[in-house]
Amino acid sequence: MQHNFELEGYILGFGSSIKVLKPASLRRRIYEQMRDATEFYEKQLPTRELEASLLKLKWRGYAILENLYTAREVRRIQSLIWRSTTDEKRFSRNGQLFTVRSVLKEIPHLKPLLFNYNLCRLVSSFGSGYFLTKAIYFNKPPQSNWFMAWHQDVPVNVKEKIEAEGFHGWTNKNGLISVCPPVSYLQSAFTVRIHLDDTDVQNGALKVIPKAFTEVLTAEQIAEARENIEHKTCRVNQGGAQLMTRLRCMPPPEVKARSTVE
Contact 236, 66 (CB under 8 A): yes
**Farthest CA pair distance, the chain:** 75
pLDDT of residue 258: 57
**Hey, what amino acid is at 150?**
W
Predicted TM-score of the model (pTM): 0.81
pLDDT of residue 78: 94
Q: What pLDDT does residue 236 have?
A: 94
What is the reported pLDDT for 143? 61
Phi then psi dihedrals of residue 233, to 5 deg: -100, 125
- As beta bridge partners, residue 207 has 233
CB 38 within 8 A of CB 72: no
> Which pLDDT value is given to residue 2?
64
Which residues of the chain fall below pLDDT 50? none
- CATH number corresponding to 45-153+187-261: 2.60.120.620
pLDDT of residue 77: 96
According to the model, what pLDDT value does residue 145 have?
59
